[in-house]
């Protein structure tokens, strides 16, 4: 098992990566929770149905926390749980179960489950702790680390949320055996992002092992890839927890990516949308004299080998461009883009909205 610390002072926690057996996972979680009065376990319905690891984990956790009110609540699968309506349903259920300020929320699922659980934990009784058992590759390398939580509005993705760091994160690779191939591949997009913005060696490794990573590969190799991506995020978050500066580089590909994802009514998976968004950002970076054409070509080749889409040009529409106007990265009459010129480095640049609309409407 690989352990990546996220050293945030009083809010510090560890990310544990590997095939984690239920008894060990329960021990880690129970230690992190301390002496909770209850545990509200929020489970992605699809994960609960498909994975044989959920029930043993809950049994082991209940055994570790005798006389503690451990209750399970199944969430709608995927992005369907990321709405204020679903947040209210969860909070009402928690209140009905009698969870008080000594309770802890535990998320078992992918990125959407983690976002939902973290957000409801941040607002229930004005805030209670939570922990995460990530079950998808995307959640392991992205949503579970860093404390960003939130849900969607009709106007766009993640427009309501909070910063709320977890007590502990488990990236249990045992859950990946039931992950559909498309979901697995989509998770690799965020790993490519980490390589581009902060770890050139990771990018080179992805290029060397693309086909094997896109298929079922040995657990040890996958664990080290996940650990490298988590380390990038942990380093950036430790430097800038609330995105007042450098943390914004983690948004590379997300401005256009989120717009495409929302406009598709979430038929595009998050990682697929981010792959498209990265290609759009590299194209825009070229117009700004930041990104050389060969980096765009190199990235497109890698994403294609991984099985991710790169044809953002044909997907751009007035509706997609319009969604950028309500993106979280907007600053007045400009939107903040992340550009990459050399692998392993990134820069932030504010582009006037009118210019961004013009350039996206006619990508080069």
Q: What residues have CB less than 8 Å from 111, skipping those under 6 apart?
A: 134, 136, 138, 139, 142, 143, 144, 270
Of the candidates 164, 190, 169, 167, which has an alpha carbon nearest to the alpha carbon of residue 242?
Answer: 164
243 is catalytic: yes
pLDDT of residue 332: 67
204 is catalytic: no
CATH 3.40.30.10 for the 181-361 domain, yes or no:
no
pLDDT of residue 155: 87
Q: How many CA atoms lie within 13 A of 327 on its CB side?
A: 30
59 is catalytic: no
Catalytic residue among 53, 71, 184, 190: 190
pLDDT of residue 217: 63
H helix runs in 111-180, sequence order: 111-123, 137-138
Residue 364 clears pLDDT 60, i.e. is over it: no
Catalytic residue among 247, 296, 323, 329: 247
Q: At 168, list the tokens.
A: 């502990």
272 is catalytic: no
Q: At 107, list the tokens.
A: 């998320």
CATH 3.40.50.1970 spans which residues of the chain? 2-178
CB 120 within 8 A of CB 87: yes
For residues 180 and 266, what is the distance between their CA atoms, to the nearest angstrom?
17
CATH placement of domain 2-178: 3.40.50.1970
Q: Provide the whole-model pTM.
A: 0.94
pLDDT of residue 7: 96
101 is catalytic: no
What average pLDDT does this structure show over 128-151?
96
Residue 361 clears pLDDT 80, i.e. is over it: no
Catalytic residue among 126, 294, 314, 331: 126
User: What does the angle CA 55 – CA 115 – CA 334 come to, to the nearest 5 degrees?
Assistant: 165
For residues 291 and 76, what is the distance between their CA atoms, to the nearest angstrom?
40
Q: At 317, list the tokens.
A: 């529409």
Catalytic residue among 270, 323, 328, 329: 270
**For 58-113, what is each residue's pLDDT tens digit?**
999 999 999 999 999 999 999 999 999 999 999 999 999 999 999 999 999 999 99
Residue 331 clears pLDDT 70, i.e. is over it: no
More confident residue, 129 or 211: 129
89 is catalytic: no
Residue 35 clears pLDDT 90, i.e. is over it: yes
325: pLDDT confidence band, cut at 50, 70 and 90? confident
Catalytic residue among 71, 184, 193, 233: 233
Residue 362 clears pLDDT 60, i.e. is over it: no
11 is catalytic: no
Tell me the percentage of the chain whose pLDDT exceeds 90: 84
Q: Which of 36-40, 212-216, 319-323 has the lowest mean pLDDT?
A: 212-216
For residues 242 and 146, what is the distance between their CA atoms, to the nearest angstrom?
9
Catalytic residue among 79, 183, 241, 243: 243
Catalytic residue among 148, 164, 184, 323: 148
Catalytic residue among 71, 82, 251, 261: 251
323 is catalytic: no
pLDDT of residue 150: 95
Residue 221 clears pLDDT 90, i.e. is over it: no
| Mean pLDDT rounded to a whole number for the chain | 94
What is Dmax (Cα atoms) for the chain? 62
CATH 1.20.1090.10 spans which residues of the chain? 181-361
**For 47-57, what is each residue's pLDDT tens digit?**
999 999 999 99
184 is catalytic: no
247 is catalytic: yes
Catalytic residue among 82, 258, 296, 328: 258
The continuous run of DSSP H or E covering 309 comes out as none
């Amino acid at each position: 098992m690989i352990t990546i610390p996220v050293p945030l002072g009083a809010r510090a926690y560890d990310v544990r990566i590997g095939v984690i057996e239920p008894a060990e996972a329960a021990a880690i979680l129970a230690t992190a929770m301390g002496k909770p009065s209850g545990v509200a376990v929020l489970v992605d319905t699809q994960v609960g149905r498909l994975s044989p690891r959920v029930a043993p984990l809950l049994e082991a956790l209940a055994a570790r926390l005798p006389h503690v009110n451990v209750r399970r609540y199944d969430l709608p699968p995927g992005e369907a749980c990321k709405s204020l309506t679903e947040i209210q349903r969860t909070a009402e259920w928690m209140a009905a179960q009698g969870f008080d300020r000594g309770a802890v929320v535990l998320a078992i699922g992918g990125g959407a489950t983690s976002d939902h659980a973290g957000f409801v934990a941040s607002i229930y009784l004005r805030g209670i702790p939570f922990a995460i058992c990530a079950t998808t590759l995307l959640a392991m390398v992205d949503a579970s680390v860093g404390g960003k939580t939130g849900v969607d509005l009709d106007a766009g993705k993640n427009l309501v949320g909070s910063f709320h760091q977890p007590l502990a994160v488990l990236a249990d690779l045992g859950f990946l055996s039931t992950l559909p191939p498309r979901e697995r591949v989509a998770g690799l997009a965020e790993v490519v992002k980490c390589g581009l913005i902060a770890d050139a060696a990771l990018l080179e490794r992805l290029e060397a092992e693309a086909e094997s990573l896109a298929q079922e590969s040995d657990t040890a190799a996958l664990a080290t890839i996940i650990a490298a991506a988590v380390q990038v995020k942990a380093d950036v978050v430790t430097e800038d927890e609330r995105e007042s500066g450098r943390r914004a580089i983690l948004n590379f590909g997300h401005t256009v990516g989120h717009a495409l994802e929302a406009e598709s009514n979430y038929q595009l998976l998050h990682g697929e949308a981010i792959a498209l968004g990265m290609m759009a950002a590299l194209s825009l970076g070229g117009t700004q004299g930041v990104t050389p054409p060969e980096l765009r070509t190199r990235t497109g080749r890698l994403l294609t080998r991984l099985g991710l889409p790169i044809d953002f040009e044909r997907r751009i529409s007035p509706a997609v461009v319009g969604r950028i106007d309500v993106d979280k990265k907007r600053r007045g009459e400009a939107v903040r883009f992340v550009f990459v010129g050399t692998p392993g480095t990134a820069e932030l640049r504010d582009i006037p909205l009118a210019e961004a609309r013009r350039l996206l409407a006619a990508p080069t």
